[in-house]
Amino acid sequence: MLAAAGLNMVATGEYAFFNIEIFTGTSANYKPWHNASDSDERNEIAKKAYEAVLTVTARAPSSDQYKNFSSHVKKIAQEEFGYKYEEESVNPYVAGFFEGVLVYAAALNSTLREGGAITDGHHIVANMWNRTFDSNVVPPWFTGNISIDARGDRKADYSLLDMNPVTGIFESVATYYGESESLEFMGNITWPGGRPPRDQPECGFDNSRCSEAQGPWSIVAGMLALLVVAMAVGSVFIYRHYKLEADLASMTWRVSWEDVEVVEKTKHGKCGSKISIGKISVNTCGSVDSLVDSRQVFIRTGRYKIKGLYQEGVTVAIKKIHKDRVDLARPMLIQLKRMKDLQYEHLVRFIGVCVDNKPYCAVFTEYCPKGSLQDLLENEDVKLDSMFKMSLMHDIVKGMAFLHSSELRTHGNLKSSNCVVDSRFVLKLTDFGLHNLRERVYSQEDYVYWKRKLWTAPEILRNANPPEEGTQKADVYSFAIIVHEIIYRMGPFYVKNEGLSAQLIYGS
């Protein structure tokens, strides 16, 4: 009975399936969704549902012979059986029965010519199978040649019907020719949702393609996991925010001047009497300006006793802040915290700042007893071989690289006097950061005003409003000047046999 049935494929949004439906009409007026006894509203609902239906049926011939055959069938059905056909052409399966009789007659004739009997069913069937009957053997063929394979199945032609979304009529969009085993498309399939359906559900019909974790609970678990991750990230940001606020409020960088012991120096640079004001003792020698004579000058130092850590105190370098008042706004507090957190073997460690009333404002840093690189290079009694010079340059490079990758980003005031050497002859960078506190105003009549510009990059000098923190490129320029100093030991911008002052060099 399958030969007399239409094969429907229902395509949904996820997959496609087939069902068998008897098809007694032709594609010219085939509207299986329409029922004359139903309301227009229910027919529209059915029409919407049939948009997902594809019908596979036997191809209806369109030749004149088939039209003539249909007329004779309608006439016989009306005259002899009282049945009236409503369709324009009779069902192609009726023609199939007629062709079956013709094929049987052709096979019987072949059997008789071969000496067989009319009752020899095996012989007759053998003449049907694995054979093609054309119009030259038994006319009239209106469906084309008839081919039967070795198993006795006819190589039939089939049409694929799809509903026209405008007219609602199922029309042929493709034809399969059994004899040539070829497929020809005559139109486009209108897919519901705009795309072809899946051949099976995403997880398969038995859910074998998906594990249990990929079921509905997996969606819930995934959402919970995303929620946990979002909460964790939010907690980290909240924790970092409150930790920053707590660190700013704690002011671990603050040094009280109540713990200071001061030793005043004499005008000639010799140690004077010792003045005790707390727990920092200052002992300085050699105050004569090195720019005036050749004696070495060291920075003022003191003993700072950090409670709970150093009972005997730690030696620190003290640099006075030349400001009447220090504004502890939030940007300044953040800079002080960054300085306190910054620790590296080639950077001078920041101890803290005293922001009490003037004249007790100062910056406290790690003390390096060997003095600055400038002092070392100007001391003729110190001999430097090439290996030691390379070591000094390498230490500067490592300190600069660490600063440039830190939150400070730049040094901004790099020169040989800001490179100090500790007791182990390890070079460290100092006077970086806190540029607002370190700023000091010099008059153009001071030699220091012109001297400090010798390490400054040209683009900074030409800038009317240069950035106070400098730039990384300007730091590299300053490093190149220091390298020149280390190699020749004749100060910056040394020109052989020409004694140029800093003001002349800057002016040129």
Instruction: Specify the pLDDT at position 504.
Output: 67
Instruction: Specify the pLDDT at position 501.
Output: 67
Least confident of 100-109, 268-277, 364-373, 492-501: 268-277
Q: Which of 23-27, 256-260, 413-417 has the highest mean pLDDT?
A: 413-417
Instruction: Specify the pLDDT at position 333.
Output: 87
Question: Does 373 score more than 50 pLDDT?
Answer: yes
| β-pair partners for 353 | 254, 363
Question: Does 123 score more than 90 pLDDT?
Answer: yes
Work out the pLDDT band at 261, boundaries 50, 70, 90.
low
| More confident call, 399 vs 210 | 399
Question: Does 16 score more than 60 pLDDT?
Answer: no
Q: H-helix or E-strand containing 53?
A: strand 53-58
Question: Does 62 score more than 90 pLDDT?
Answer: no
Q: What is the pLDDT of residues 223-240, one digit of tens each?
A: 899 999 999 999 999 988
Q: Within a 10 A sphere around the Cβ of 401, how many other Cβ atoms?
A: 12
Segment 103-109 shows an average pLDDT of: 90
Question: Does 298 score more than 90 pLDDT?
Answer: no
Percent of the chain with pLDDT over 90: 25
Question: Does 60 score more than 50 pLDDT?
Answer: yes
Q: Are 431 and 453 in contact (CB under 8 A)?
A: no
- What's phi and psi for 183, nearest 5 deg? -120, 130
Instruction: Specify the pLDDT at position 457.
Output: 93
Segment 280-309 shows an average pLDDT of: 51
Instruction: Specify the pLDDT at position 453.
Output: 86
Question: 257-507 has which fold?
Answer: Transferase(Phosphotransferase); domain 1 (1.10.510)
Work out the pLDDT band at 111, boundaries 50, 70, 90.
very high
Question: Does 89 score more than 80 pLDDT?
Answer: no
The pair of structure tokens assigned to 496 is: 């052989």
**pTM given for the model:** 0.51
Instruction: Specify the pLDDT at position 8.
Output: 47
Question: Does 323 score more than 60 pLDDT?
Answer: yes
User: In a 3-state reduction of DSSP, which class is residue 214?
Assistant: helix
Nearest to 422 by CA among 376, 368, 375, 377: 368
Segment 165-191 shows an average pLDDT of: 87
User: In a 3-state reduction of DSSP, which class is residue 8?
Assistant: strand
Least confident of 57-66, 97-106, 169-178, 256-265: 256-265
